[in-house]
Structure 1
Amino acid sequence: MSATENRLGVFPAFFRVADEGVAVFGNGDEAFAKARLLGNTKARVIAYADAPEADYAAYLVDKHIEQVQVPFDPAQVEGKTLVFAATGDAALDRAIVTAARAAKIPANAVDQPDYCDFYTPALVNRAPIAVAIGSEGAGPVLAQMIRADVDRLLPKSLGKLAVLANSYRSAVDSLLPRGVVRRLFWRSFFKGDVADAVESGDVSTARRHATRLLKATRASGNVGRVFLVGAGPGAEDLLTLRAHRLLMEADVILFDALVPQAVVDMGRRDAERISVGKRKGCHSKSQEEINDLLVELAREGKRVVRLKAGDPLVFGRAGEEMAALRNAGIPYEVVPGITSALAAAADFELPLTLRGVASTLVFTTGHDLHGDVLPDWARLALSGASVAVYMGRSVAASVAGKLMGAGLPEDTTVAIVENAGRADRRLLHGTLAELPRLEHLDSLTGPVMVIIGDAVAGASFERSEALGGIGAGARQNFARI
């Protein structure tokens, strides 16, 4: 979907209607529906209905809604905040909207989009909290279905909790500094003991919990914290719930080059975003600079998310960052993510361990193959271990050469995944002897994972392309799933 396709044709907003006049024109079901919707508000509804249907007429009487029983006149829209034209007569509705627009009053004509200055949403009412679901008129039934789902999710006590929060707002503003400290207070307020007490109907206990929470938050001071968060292989729905929550709470997000923008965008809208990406031959910041920046931001009292592709503790240099934070006395937390080897195995439906075949799993980058001494992980490969090689394209030839030279059969199966776990992933399969071809495939521009071992033979190759069928140096369009 392009950026343009993802833009709304309307701007979501809420009108102030308390004690303001809102006109509803019509006698039938459409007018009745608008009047009921307005019944969720404090608007002063005026029903222009000269012959309302029986159930609508009863509703108007029961709710003490002012009724005007005369034919439409353009002067009737004057002084109103909103106008609803729901007469069932398309021409009359257009005339009503035309009069409202001439008076610069927003108007809505039922089932006539060109005569709608605004749309009425499907509404979930937890006053003063409201959730409005709109579809720009394209899918009102879908909007109602979403409304039903949201209504089930939100506690009925949510409005009472919001009212209680409002009573603490001035105290919070005077006692707690702006920024992360206030946000953490309100998060605890809305998700912890206070909310539980309100939901159980015990407002007095809720107030006691809220007062204790305010005192405790004030005493803790403005202490910054760093979170080393694994973004997983790049698909938004493979991010952990904890990672998502921390992104929504972060003041600053430092992200690597391999983290897709869509994942970075899942952070809080007004959080500062800093790219500290490192790719082969192109480093925007050195590791030492990143360490210093983490310490500096935390000392400013900010909550910092250091967002890393995959898992922070697997080839993520988190050890250096943790050491820097420990030395500076900065509190931190590590949030694991799905590492690319696991995503690649899932793409291939590949068992990384297989009873009776492979009981050992090795993660490596393969960059220690340049000397004459065979590394320990290579020796494990010879004994049947599954080996997952990160950043595998650039070392494919040396990995294959060393392993075959050490005695691993050249027909050992290999699985290759570019952009593991993502929608644009590419799958290739072949043998150890064919693996060196990988270095010449220029169309592979994303991160590449190579998995080698006897267990790989148990993978599903239906959606992958045979490496042996691709000529060296050729630019190919590989299988996409």
Structure 2
Amino acid sequence: MKYFPVFIDAEHVNCLIVGAGEVAARKLELILKTPASVSIVSPWVSDTVASLAKQHDIEIHERVFEDKDLEGKSMIFVATDDSQVNQHIHDLAHSQSKLVNVVDNTPLCKFITPSIVDRSPIIIAMSSGGVAPVLLRYIRQKLESVLPSKISLLGNFSEKFRAKVKQALSSVTDRRYFWEEVLDGDIGENVLQGNQALAEQQLDTALEAYQAGNKPKGQVYLVGAGPGDPDLLTFRALRLMQKADVVVYDRLVSPDILELVRRDAEKIYVGKAKSKHTIDQEEINALLAKLAKEGNRVVRLKGGDPFIFGRGGEEIQTLIQQGIEFQVVPGITAASGAASYAGIPLTHRDHAQSVTFTTGHLRDNTIDLDWESLARKQHTLVFYMGLTGLNIICEKLIANGLPEGTPIALVENATRGNQKVVTGTLGNIMNKPMTANIKPPTLIIVGSVVTLHQELNWFGASA
């Protein structure tokens, strides 16, 4: 590790910036976020630097650098286009054991400014030592996307109660475990949601309980995992998956999404496959309640959206009956994911002015639906769980007025790398050779919007 990462108390820093172009402006903007005092030396000044200096009452010496400018300065940024001047200031500052940074010239830097994710008072600083700035920006973008935008509220909340917790819990280990519970649990979530008063009340209660050795109450999070592509998870879903003690998941949750769950979380599979239920719904409901009552943070991870053919409502009813707290995190439902990644708009001015989501699930070898109302023109139909009953769906729609030539699409493993799309018509889809190879999970889309698939298919192969 060539560069030792430290954070300097900027309240006692006297900073000099030599140069006043756009490069110097970037350093000035950064240092202005701190309480450091700043002065600038440059024979000419850019509009950006002039504006910043005026806003913050910064002293500018419009002249060339003089050796005496280093007097009383503890940090120096050099941002001129004169290599000889840059070298001279570096050598002079180095001889006086001052921190000096010659911008974009790593060998002449006694310190470097890191890439920063600023959620003050929480600050994340990263560096590649000047060897991979593009990679560093890429990593920063990743961090920006997963950090809650309001994590600064957690920082302020922790600061407010730090002394109180320290006084109540003398053991460093006890304090660490307590703060982990606070930040990972319901209290931290309420802080992020802006429920400050409730969070403070909960912290007082939790602190008293922790002192008495009582474990906090468990909670259940019903999280929509989306159609399969992990990039389609919401930020909140990912955050809750990372704090879960137990994850209860179904067959439609992709392996890539499961990889994002907290490593040491217990994972319980409760999937169902083509009428072969590993565990029935009532048992799942009871399991969620049992795990929460044991004090766990339980994530019920469901493919798609919990409230669209996900039986989330049934699970919540059980939790309410047993007095268990819960939250619901919506996800991108399979219909939206499949349609978007197959290039099939569910509505289009020239094709469909409405869309219906329905189930194609077989019961007693039939599908009991209002077929007459479904078989409409200028309308899109999306069938969930309909692959086994595909022949019945086609027959019923034709019998109730849709032409045999009505387009239909089967989308297997929507949004995933192995997505497959088979298109045809109500009259011929069963005879398509590729139809026999389609496996669940598959969504069925019916309507003239399917004709747009070939033109708009941006993601995967079709058959």
> What is the TM-score with the length of structure 2 in the denominator?
0.62
Of 122-131 and 432-441, more deviation after overlay is shown by 122-131
How far, CA to CA, are the matches of 1:159 and 1:333 in structure 2?
Answer: 23
Residue 142 of structure 1 deviates from its aligned partner by: 2.4
Per the alignment, residue 386 of structure 2 pairs with: 392
State the number of aligned residues: 360
Per the alignment, residue 183 of structure 1 pairs with: 184
How far, CA to CA, are the matches of 1:182 and 1:156 in structure 2?
Answer: 12
How far, CA to CA, are the matches of 1:324 and 1:263 in structure 2?
Answer: 26
How far, CA to CA, are the matches of 2:322 and 2:203 in structure 1?
Answer: 28
How far, CA to CA, are the matches of 2:251 and 2:245 in structure 1?
Answer: 20
How far, CA to CA, are the matches of 1:210 and 1:464 in structure 2?
Answer: 47
Instruction: List aligned pairs for 1:197-216, cutoff 5 A.
Output: 214-215=203-204
Structure 1 position 307 matched with structure 2 position 301: yes
Residue 456 of structure 1 deviates from its aligned partner by: 3.4
Per the alignment, residue 141 of structure 1 pairs with: 133
Per the alignment, residue 26 of structure 2 pairs with: none
Distance 1:161 1:338, change over 3 A: closer
Per the alignment, residue 61 of structure 1 pairs with: 96
Contact 1:369–1:375 (CA under 8 A) maintained in structure 2:
no
Root-mean-square deviation over aligned CA pairs: 4.8
Per the alignment, residue 444 of structure 1 pairs with: 438
Per the alignment, residue 275 of structure 1 pairs with: 269
Per the alignment, residue 238 of structure 1 pairs with: 232
- 1:266 maps to a residue whose letter is L
Per the alignment, residue 288 of structure 2 pairs with: 294
Distance 1:132 1:285, change over 3 A: farther
How far, CA to CA, are the matches of 1:329 and 1:210 in structure 2?
Answer: 20
- 2:133 maps to a residue whose letter is V
Structure 1 position 170 matched with structure 2 position 166: yes
- 1:445 is paired with a residue whose SS is coil
Contact 1:365–1:392 (CA under 8 A) maintained in structure 2:
yes
Q: Which runs of no fewer than 5 residues in structure 2 stay unpaired?
A: 7-86, 101-105, 210-214
Contact 2:361–2:384 (CA under 8 A) maintained in structure 1:
no
Residue 419 of structure 1 deviates from its aligned partner by: 1.5
Residue 329 of structure 1 deviates from its aligned partner by: 2.0
Of 158-167 and 291-300, more deviation after overlay is shown by 158-167
Instruction: List aligned pairs for 1:124-135, cutoff 5 A.
Output: 124=116, 131=124, 133=126
- 1:433 is paired with a residue whose SS is coil
- 2:279 is paired with a residue whose SS is coil
- 1:460 maps to a residue whose letter is H
How far, CA to CA, are the matches of 1:132 and 1:56 in structure 2?
Answer: 27
Per the alignment, residue 428 of structure 2 pairs with: 434
Contact 1:314–1:339 (CA under 8 A) maintained in structure 2:
yes
Deviations 1:254-280 (A, max 9, x none): 111210122122233332222222222
How far, CA to CA, are the matches of 1:417 and 1:258 in structure 2?
Answer: 14
Contact 1:369–1:399 (CA under 8 A) maintained in structure 2:
no
Distance 1:297 1:453, change over 3 A: same
Q: Which runs of no fewer than 5 residues in structure 1 stay unpaired?
A: 1-9, 17-51, 66-85, 89-119, 197-207, 466-477
Contact 1:228–1:312 (CA under 8 A) maintained in structure 2:
yes
Distance 1:377 1:232, change over 3 A: farther
How far, CA to CA, are the matches of 2:160 and 2:362 in structure 1?
Answer: 61
- 1:340 maps to a residue whose letter is A
Residue 354 of structure 1 deviates from its aligned partner by: 4.2
- 1:170 maps to a residue whose letter is K
How far, CA to CA, are the matches of 1:296 and 1:258 in structure 2?
Answer: 23
Distance 1:171 1:230, change over 3 A: farther
Residue 433 of structure 1 deviates from its aligned partner by: 0.9
Per the alignment, residue 245 of structure 2 pairs with: 251
How far, CA to CA, are the matches of 2:198 and 2:329 in structure 1?
Answer: 29
- 1:424 maps to a residue whose letter is N
Per the alignment, residue 454 of structure 2 pairs with: 461
Contact 1:427–1:479 (CA under 8 A) maintained in structure 2:
yes
Percent identical pairs in the alignment equals 35
- 1:305 is paired with a residue whose SS is strand
Structure 1 position 285 matched with structure 2 position 279: yes
Distance 1:63 1:148, change over 3 A: farther
How far, CA to CA, are the matches of 1:367 and 1:55 in structure 2?
Answer: 74
How far, CA to CA, are the matches of 1:218 and 1:339 in structure 2?
Answer: 40
How far, CA to CA, are the matches of 1:461 and 1:143 in structure 2?
Answer: 36
- 2:453 is paired with a residue whose SS is coil
Q: Return the match for 2:359 from 353, 362, 365.
A: 365
Contact 1:234–1:422 (CA under 8 A) maintained in structure 2:
yes
Distance 1:426 1:321, change over 3 A: same
Per the alignment, residue 479 of structure 1 pairs with: 461
- 2:134 maps to a residue whose letter is L
Contact 1:429–1:464 (CA under 8 A) maintained in structure 2:
no
Per the alignment, residue 41 of structure 2 pairs with: none
